[in-house]
Amino acid sequence: MPLTAYDLSDRTAFVTGAASGIGRASALLLAEAGAAVHCADRDEMGLAETRALIAKAGGTAHVHPLDVSDRAQVKAALEAAGPVHVVAAIAGIMHTSSVLETEDADLDRVLSVNFRGVLHACQEAARTMIARGIRGSIVTMASGAVDSSRPGLFCYSVSKVAVVQLTRTLAAELGPHGIRVNAIAPGWVRTAMTGRHAAEQQEQIESMMLRLSPLARLGEPEDIAHAVLHLAADASGFTTGQILRPNGGVSMPW
């Protein structure tokens, strides 16, 4: 496959969760590949930092402060972005509680961002892609939590399993329009979100992940960003409905 298969210089990408972590790393890499990147997040300061980093590297970035759980905000941002060829729906949150301790409000909050936020981006982007005849790529963010269970991550795991089913169904429905839909299920990645979640257990969790990984290291946001770029680009032109697992060889026995 020629390296031009990763050239996105004629495309526009829309990335949610772009203010930090995997979202920021993905926005930076997509811009490096030549895409005009529209960065969405509710963290306005983080968005400004991402835009500055992209501009410093010579790329093009636009920012859209928004809440992905609000469909109207997502729709307005996508309309402002114009023809979009790549969507990376990465925004997400974590919540820790056992099943018996989980309140309806806890589950609703996580689902509103991790599932409905992805759904909103996918639906609104796909509608515009179809209307414009764009053979685009949609990348969703699942998690290693879809493969096994870890106490306390009920809300998070349920939301990510829903993302997987959304991805597979959309891939089947949008394939006839030339639109590919794939998900990424990362292993444990060092980000601000995972750090907050595991603040009291960080050393224990990281030690466990290091033991389980044949590569003997934890994931970094850039590791997942490269998976996003691959699924966004023509290099994966015959790939749809798949769950890519960049996890350092860990089979996710969480």
Distance CA 76, CA 73 (A): 5
Q: Is residue 167 part of a domain?
A: yes
**Residue 254 in domain:** no
Strand 243-244 with 12-16, pairing: unpaired
* pLDDT tens-digit readout, 86-104: 999 999 998 889 999 999 9
Residue 125 has pLDDT above 60, yes or no: yes
Q: What confidence tier does 253 reach under pLDDT thresholds 50, 70, 90?
A: very low
Q: What pTM was computed for the model?
A: 0.92
Q: Is residue 248 part of a domain?
A: no
pLDDT value of position 186: 92
Residue 250 lies in a domain: no
Instruction: Give yes or no for residue 84 having a pLDDT over 90.
Output: yes
Q: What pLDDT does 202 receive?
A: 62
Number of domains in the chain: 1
* Residue 125 domain flag: yes
What are 31's two structure tokens? Answer: 């811009």
Residue 157 is assigned to a structural domain of this protein: yes
Domain of residue 187: give its range: 3-243
Task: For residue 252, tell me if it sits in a domain.
Answer: no
Provide the annotated active-site residues: 156
Q: Does the CA dihedral 53-183-202-98 come out positive or negative?
A: positive
Query: CATH number for the domain including 166?
Result: 3.40.50.720
- pLDDT value at position 194? 60
Residue 155 lies in a domain: yes
Output the CA–CA distances (angstroms, integers) from residue 115 to 83, 87, 120, 159, 170, in the order listed: 24, 15, 9, 5, 14
